[in-house]
Amino acid sequence: MEPDLFTAAAEERQEKDPAGSPLAVRMRPRTLDEVVGQQHLLKPGSPLRRLVGEGAKGPAGPSSVILWGPPGTGKTTLAYVVSKATNKRFVELSAITAGVKEVRAVIDGARRATGGFGKETVLFLDEIHRFSKAQQDSLLPAVENRWVTLIAATTENPYFSVISPLLSRSLLLTLEPLTDDDLRGLLKRALTDERGLGGSVTLPEDTEAHLLRIAGGDARRALTALEAAAGAALDKGESQIALRTLEETVDRAAVKYDRDGDQHYDVASALIKSIRGSDVDAALHYLARMVEAGEDPRFIARRLMISASEDIGLADPNALPIAVAAAQAVAMIGFPEAALTLSHATIALALAPKSNSATTAIGAALDDVRKGLAGPVPPHLRDGHYKGAAKLGHAQGYVYPHDLAEGIAEQQYAPDALKDREYYTPTRHGAEARYADAVEWTRKHLGRRRS
């Protein structure tokens, strides 16, 4: 809501005594140029630039926007910058505490401000995904008629959590997780800026690396941990934040893991080999190390999808769908909840029966092709749908399997040079046992005998 006397007084005290505010609040950017990351949203002429009045003149006014991104990527910060930089009336609501009554009050106030004073209103609505359909419907007339310019923030996929009419009337801006370089710059500024720690402590490289890992791309989490560790260091009379101090403060041990070096590949390799070896506990240990170190969950999900085909295959046909579903879920939800999905898939794959027959089959087939063993496609299998194909003998003599009682025709499918090759050697592990029976039966009815 609009600030009352008590809120205004609190803000005034905050400005006079910034040290009383959390570091994350003190270090909030004051202009769009101070914003860390999200440069794809801050180019000249972008919707956010227009919201603060940069190039927003003329008949085409600024559009309402929906900011979608993980926690700590700057959604509230961007709204805060707009509130400070714009000469428009700025009102803030949270979908956690507000309802239709509050929304209508803001809209009525916006119409009065526009009609009486020519003052435009920007409404920042945090956590919009918590609004019901009816509550979101109440925003439509104001957005459509531009009684308010809406800035809505959500951590959930707006295609699922925001009604279509509101989406169609707004621009969807996607915020990306902050990179280590983004956070590193933010930490450096917080350490030296007078609004922050004012150079009272320094941050060694190993402590910074651990801080970046536990932040997980979340600026608020990074600054909160930095403030706590800096306070602990100063209490000890130390001017440097030692790694042990940060570990004690955040109660998280530093995981020895380099996302760009040997640990990245070694731990990933150990995860897959533990799954292949059906050691579910070891697999979960390596997964936990990767999660705790802030490994990209999409990388882990990709490795699990590969493992599902490479090491399990037809021994459990559900393994690949589980891994694919996990990858899709991870892409939608991100950390920390993605850890649950990755655990689900890792356990399922580790305990599944194993077979590498799909791996060896395509490997053997590729080996023959690379050796030049190919040859022309048998004439009866060639395309016969175009004019003149019959004169060339194409598709002549082809037996349509569905016309036969057993659904399989005794005819040659492979080129002559490969007609006796057998690439697929099934195991009798798990569900693949039925494929072993099936391949034996089909080869027999195709007129082939095991070599």
Query: What are the phi and psi torsion angles at 401 (to 5°)?
Result: -55, -30
Omega into 18 within 30° of 0, i.e. cis?
Answer: no
What is the model's pLDDT at position 6? 39
pLDDT exceeds cutoff 90 at 320: yes
What is the model's pLDDT at position 146? 84
Range with the poorest average pLDDT among 19-28, 388-397, 418-427, 436-445: 388-397
Cβ atoms of residues 121 and 114 within 8 Å:
yes
What is the model's pLDDT at position 388? 67
pLDDT exceeds cutoff 80 at 392: no
Burial of 48 per CB tally in 10 Å (0-12, 13-18, 19+): buried
Q: What is the mean pLDDT of residues 434-446?
A: 80
Q: What is the mean pLDDT of residues 84-111?
A: 85
Residues 397 and 409: their CA atoms lie apart, in Å, by 12
Q: What is the mean pLDDT of residues 176-203?
A: 89
What is the model's pLDDT at position 384? 66
User: What angle is formed at CA 35 by the lines to CA 34 and CA 36, rounded to 5 degrees?
Assistant: 115
Amino acid letter for position 325:
A
Give the sign of the dihedral formed by CA 163, CA 164, CA 166, CA 171: positive
- The band of 120, judged by pLDDT with boundaries at 50, 70 and 90, is confident
Residues 291 and 175: their CA atoms lie apart, in Å, by 22
Of all residues in the chain, what percent carry a pLDDT higher than 90? Answer: 17
- The band of 327, judged by pLDDT with boundaries at 50, 70 and 90, is very high
- The band of 305, judged by pLDDT with boundaries at 50, 70 and 90, is very high
What is the model's pLDDT at position 389? 66
Q: Where does residue 409 fall: left (phi above 0), alpha (psi -120 to 50 degrees), or beta otherwise?
A: beta
Say if pTM beats, i.e. exceeds, 0.85.
Answer: no
Q: What is the mean pLDDT of residues 154-182?
A: 88
pLDDT exceeds cutoff 70 at 227: yes
Of all residues in the chain, what percent carry a pLDDT higher than 70? Answer: 87
Between 67 and 12, the higher pLDDT residue = 67
Q: What is the mean pLDDT of residues 147-167?
A: 89
What is the model's pLDDT at position 422? 79
Range with the poorest average pLDDT among 176-190, 302-316, 412-426: 412-426
Radius of gyration of the chain (CA): 31
What is the model's pLDDT at position 163? 93
- The band of 4, judged by pLDDT with boundaries at 50, 70 and 90, is very low
What is the model's pLDDT at position 54? 57
Residue keyed to tokens 């009798």: 428
User: What angle is formed at CA 22 by the lines to CA 211 and CA 250, rounded to 5 degrees?
Assistant: 30
Between 236 and 335, the higher pLDDT residue = 236
Cβ atoms of residues 193 and 55 within 8 Å:
no
Between 274 and 5, the higher pLDDT residue = 274
What is the model's pLDDT at position 440? 80
The rounded mean pLDDT for the chain is 81
Question: Which span out of 11-25, 45-59, 386-400 was modeled with the highest average pLDDT?
Answer: 386-400
Amino acid letter for position 346:
T
- The band of 324, judged by pLDDT with boundaries at 50, 70 and 90, is very high
